Chains A and B, each alone.
Chain A
Amino acid sequence: MSAPVSETATAALQEPDAPIEAPQGGRTPWWANQRIGLLILVVALSALFGVLRPAFFNQQLVVFPLLRDIAMFTVVGLAQLCVLSIGHMNLAVGRMAAFSMMITGISYDLWHFSLYAGLLVGLVAGAAIGALAGWVIARTGVNSFVVTLALDFLLLGLIPLVYTALTDNAAFVTKPPGMRELRNYSLGDVCIGNLCGSPAVPQLTLFAVIAMAVVGWIYSRTKLGRELLMTGTSVKAAELSGIPTARRVITAHAMSGCLAALAGFMLAVSTGSIKATIGEEFMLPSFLGPILGGTLLAGGFISVWGTLLGAALSSVIRKGLDLLGVGLESLNIYLGLILLVALSTDRIRTVLSDRQGVRKR
């Protein structure tokens, strides 16, 4: 059942010699759980910023845009998580979003598609460009880092060319009906009888909820998810178990491209137009969310909730520092320091938990 390109795929995956020691949730105390640690940190920082600046809890001006950002960066993180699950990286995650949104923009501007038909076209384009990256990796055996970096450069040149040729302002400015509403509407506009959702929660967050549910379902309930994780843990073992690893490489990258497209759409909706620079800021946050949340760089273990919490942590810190009026020169220093402290406390918790475990034994 092995795919014809499996040997090169094996080479490309470069799995570590030692098996990865997956976290063993059952033995660790609850306070040592990375996700719970992150959740506590997010809540504590929110409370701290709220005390220092009560405006932090302003529903319209702070919470609404903050949740919109967290939702978008969660989807960006999930895009990276899919390839991390097989031990790969996608350095073109931002440019894939830009490419997909370019196709979506064309579908709105030239083909007059509706909002969701255009989104669908973008998702398909994202999946296709992702699958192409996966296919090249599986076919050639070249490391995913190199292939996606090359793809990033290729798209960096291609996208502006298309925009310059097709638009006057380097952006597709056609707004299909519903786009403006999607940007501004909250769950407060969704009512069952007299009971409505919170006006602080943007409707755009539903896209992130759906993406989390689908990705969570794939990795936890389907054979495909298990095969992806096994491929990430050990390609050789996966192949010996009859898993078509080359196809799984393509699938993981296609999923990544599709989610990058979704994140690009969320960004386009929340800023107002589809432009060539969409996704330029995606790459670092795409790693930050999953890695903070416990997803392993080496593959084999993912955390959907961790990705949400990782994205939330960095967004909350940035928003809090904004409100505290921290200047540009110090903002990124504080951001880096707080993240470093967050990760260090996480490591301290793990060490304490391990020591406690040893003592018990």
Chain B
Amino acid sequence: MNVPSLYRRTAAGLVIVALAATGCSTKSSSDNSGGTTGNDASTGTSSGPVTLKDGSKVKLALIPGGAHPYFQPWKATAEQDKTEFKLADATFNETGEWDQGKQNNVINSLAAQGYNAFGIFGVSPTDINSTFEDLKSKGFVVGSLASCPAGDTDSADFCLSTDVEAAAYKAAKAAIDAMGGEGALVHLTGNNVDSNTQRRIAGVRKAIAETNGKVTELSVITDIDTDLQTAQKAVADLLASKGKEIKGIVTTAYNPAVAAADGVATSKLPIKVVAIDDDAKILSAIKSGGVAATVTQNPVGQAYVGGWLLALLGSKQCTMKTPGVTVDSGSFIVTKANVDTYDNERKAKTVELQKEFASKLSCQ
């Protein structure tokens, strides 16, 4: 290595960078808050806040944290939003790869391309408020979909999400009922260092605590939602080592749910499994009796109502009376008894959600 020349080059380069960086503009009093949205409100008068008058200037982006089966219904619903609300455009982008930095890049890229209304599932609940603040400061409208920011503050216009603690509580209650109200329960879930996982753990523990010791939590197995193979291995290990002690398994993440349903069916152990979501495998396991129940969420409702609401806000037709309001998008227990009809309940909830939000809007 030519040492002195390297130093000279480094020094010269840094000087150039510094000059370029400092000499590029003259002071423009305050920064940049100018939005690129440029949406004018649709004018109409007040004949009920629910009907969108003009969505033609709204470009909607629905952005999950990364690829996951849960979010696949958002793709079709984004198209539905576009045609039904006559939006300028609607897109679904799942390239965040479960990294907050990458997701922020995706959001910024879409904003640069003219998208002005964002429905976002934040990768990191503790970071996502910063992203929301950035977007709001630039004049965009933002909804937190399927997950709310951690803590008491929500910097988005609204949050429409499953109350994960309530859903986990419901799932654990269903598992405890299936177990006959006593025995050892195992909880399988996702990423331990995610605040939503901590809320799910709290929900399950709350249900267990209500049994006054009749049900015990044998273990909480975290970090097995990365892929199906990881979950299958964890379930196989669990059943091999403690299968006979376990009376119930409650799962609050997708891959562990599929793996537990398969694992228990294969092992033929008399373990009651409560799953999450309504994957075809899980639904068929419910029909065959292999899975006692599942807790489904409302991804279509989140994307549909979220899109509608963002269009109302983005077109300036409405504003939130209280920005940052949180609404539970619903969670539904599905058993053999209602496996063929639960979707009706979910659709009814979606309609109810629109009404609930209508009361939280202030419209022209």
What is the interface of chain A, defined by CB distance below 8 A to chain B? 22, 25-26, 53, 55-56, 58, 60-62, 65, 69, 159-160, 163-164, 168-171, 173, 180, 183-192, 194-201, 205, 209, 212-213, 216-217, 219-221, 225-226, 229, 267, 270-273, 275-277, 280-281, 300-305, 318-319, 322-323, 325-328, 331
Contact = CB atoms under 8 A, between A and B. Distances in A.
A53 B31 CA distance: 24
A350 to B, nearest CB: 17
Given A22-B1, A168-B198, 18 more contacts: A26-B2, A53-B113, A55-B114, A60-B138, A169-B126, A170-B192, A184-B31, A186-B31, A187-B22, A188-B32, A217-B7, A267-B101, A272-B100, A275-B193, A277-B193, A281-B102, A319-B109, A323-B109
A25 B5 contact: yes
Interface residues of B, number: 63
B127 A69 contact: no
B195 A271 contact: no
Contacts of A303: 6
A334 to B, nearest CB: 12
A62 B5 contact: no
Contacts of B134: 184
B45 to A, nearest CB: 35
A275 B192 CA distance: 12
A195 B36 contact: no
B183 interface: no
Contacts, number: 195
Nearest to A187: B21
B131 interface: yes
B324 interface: no
B127 A272 contact: yes
B9 interface: yes
A43 to B, nearest CB: 13
30 contacts: A55-B109, A61-B109, A180-B130, A184-B134, A186-B31, A188-B25, A188-B31, A188-B32, A191-B27, A194-B26, A196-B27, A198-B21, A199-B31, A201-B21, A219-B3, A220-B6, A226-B3, A270-B101, A271-B130, A273-B126, A275-B127, A281-B99, A300-B1, A304-B10, A318-B105, A322-B95, A322-B105, A323-B112, A326-B95, A328-B94
A170 B13 contact: no
Contacts of A326: 95
A53 B112 CA distance: 10
